[in-house]
Amino acid sequence: MARPTLKAVLLSPQRPLGDKPLLVVGPSLGTSTFLWSQSGALLGGVVDVVAWDLPGHGISPAATGPFSIAELADAVVELVDTVAPGARFHYAGVSLGGATGLQLGIKHGERLKSLSVQCSGAKLGTPEGWLERAETVRTQGTPVMIQASAGRWFAPGFMEREPERSSRLLHALRDADRFSYAFCCEALAGFDVRNELGSIRVPTQAVAGAEDSVAPPPLAAEIAEGITAGGGTASAVTLEGVAHLAPFEAPAHVAELQRSLMAWAESRGAEK
């Protein structure tokens, strides 16, 4: 296993970091920081928004070998330390980015102020399914996934309403490094933190899309229930008309949920 190197972009206005709270946002497999562009812009007035790319996606370099979701979480902390050493931050992630968020909550909870896990789960799919996809992409390339991903990513009618934006995101999938994509699939094959949810103590919100076939609402409920069973604070929210990419399909709604979660977490921290 080799911890990957991640690169990030600033989605909020250019200004000295540290004057406002920091929000770090993570992507879904096959996407890029463009996933968060609209939600990030809506949140940029109240927080500094830093979006990271998966290995071999967007601006992040290709992975040099296999890695786990836990190592991906370590890489996120390492990335944060390059822009704001030792800082505590809010985190929101979609699908694989959400799984990374759960690992952050389990392993690096002292660094988090709040956690938003979107269109994700404590276990996603089956190991066999992920390993099969890894092999397909490794041999045939990421373009082979475009048609199936378009069907999973967007609720019915979204691509017709937003052809330019959805096409740009699918181009990110086309351009992703096939081997890094395969390593991501293999990391997901080994990911299952259902028995560790009770260790998460950071205020958490699990967001699901009602039309999501990959991470349907019961997975968000499972996250919230697992955290609260361990004494933590968590809730689950379902967004109607949304499939697998909540901040892309419903940027204003996600921004409002994020704003409320962060404000509550910040006030909770001030009371301590």
pLDDT tens figures, 53-64: 999 999 999 999
- Which contacts qualify for 252-259: CB closer than 8 Å, 24 or more apart? 252/38, 252/39, 252/42, 254/39, 254/118, 254/207, 255/39, 255/42, 255/43, 257/116, 257/205, 257/207, 258/23, 258/39, 258/43, 258/90, 258/92, 258/116, 259/43, 259/46
> How far is 157 from 143, CA to CA, in rounded Å?
22
Residue 18's pLDDT is what? 82
Which among 103, 151, 147, 145 has a CA at the least distance from the CA of 124?
103
Q: How many alpha carbons fall within 13 Å on the CB side of residue 41?
A: 8
What is the end-to-end Cα distance of the chain in Å, rounded? 39
- Is the pLDDT at 155 greater than 50, yes or no? yes
Which among 89, 76, 92, 84 has a CA at the least distance from the CA of 28?
92
- Is the pLDDT at 209 greater than 90, yes or no? yes
> How far is 89 from 111, CA to CA, in rounded Å?
6
| Whole-number average pLDDT of the chain | 96
Strand pairing class (8-10; 48-52) = antiparallel
pTM of the predicted structure, to 2 decimals? 0.97
Q: Name the token pair of 14.
A: 């250019």
Mean pLDDT of 72-89: 96
pLDDT tens figures, 15-41: 888 889 999 999 999 999 999 999 999
pLDDT tens figures, 95-127: 999 999 999 999 999 999 999 999 999 999 999
Q: Which residues pair with 192 in a beta bridge?
A: none
> How far is 146 from 95, CA to CA, in rounded Å?
17
Domain annotation for the chain: domains and CATH numbers: 8-271 (3.40.50.1820)
> Which helix or strand (DSSP H or E) is residue 113 part of?
strand 112-118
- Is the pLDDT at 262 greater than 80, yes or no? yes
- Which contacts qualify for 172-176: CB closer than 8 Å, 24 or more apart? 172/30, 172/31, 172/32, 172/34, 172/57, 172/58, 173/30, 173/31, 173/142, 173/143, 173/145, 173/146, 173/149, 174/142, 174/143, 174/146, 175/142, 176/30, 176/54, 176/56, 176/57, 176/142
- 1/74: higher pLDDT: 74
Q: What is the percent of the chain with per-residue pLDDT over 70, rounded to a whole number?
A: 99
R_g of the chain, CA atoms, integer Å: 17
